[in-house]
Amino acid sequence: MRFVNPIPFVRDINRSKEFYQKRLGLRILEDFGNFVLFETGFAIHEGSSLEQTIWRRVSVAEEPYGRGNLLLYFEHEDIEAAFEKIAPHVELIHLIERQAWGQRVFRFYDPDRHAVEIGEPLSLGPSGNSQKS
């Protein structure tokens, strides 16, 4: 058994595909119309088609899929450059902040109000503690 990846539901697959391509710079590996897999292994799925596949019904709710209970985590070697590129185009949760474990991150919402975190890479030391790379 191995974990592969979470697949967030999105309301508008084209809007979300453009967001992750344009804002985060992710490249598409496969585009099946209602499912998009990016080179990093991250994927998105058009919500109503996935609801039909899994539960055999589509919800009638129109609110965003993001509920504040999931954080999509990405890393970038140059956090300041990523912030300058992304921040003007998103609803920020907070600016770049140093976390208790030493890593600097910023967070924002994607078009479906999923929380997204961009962090600088960390490496684990011999004791398993995080260390800034």
Model confidence over 63-93: pLDDT tens digits? 889 998 999 999 999 999 999 999 999 999 9
- Tokens 């710079």 sit on residue: 25
How confident is the model at residue 115, as a pLDDT?
Answer: 97
At residue 81, φ and ψ (nearest 5 deg) are -65, -40
Mark the ranges of the chain whose per-residue pLDDT is less than 50. Answer: 133
Within a domain: 30: yes
How confident is the model at residue 128, as a pLDDT?
Answer: 54
Within a domain: 2: no
Domain that residue 73 falls in: 9-132
pTM comes to 0.87
On whether the CB atoms of residues 47 and 9 are closer than 8 A, the answer is: yes
| CATH number of the domain bearing residue 87 | 3.10.180.10
User: Considering its fold, how many domains does the chain have in total?
Assistant: 1
On whether the CB atoms of residues 45 and 37 are closer than 8 A, the answer is: no
How confident is the model at residue 125, as a pLDDT?
Answer: 58
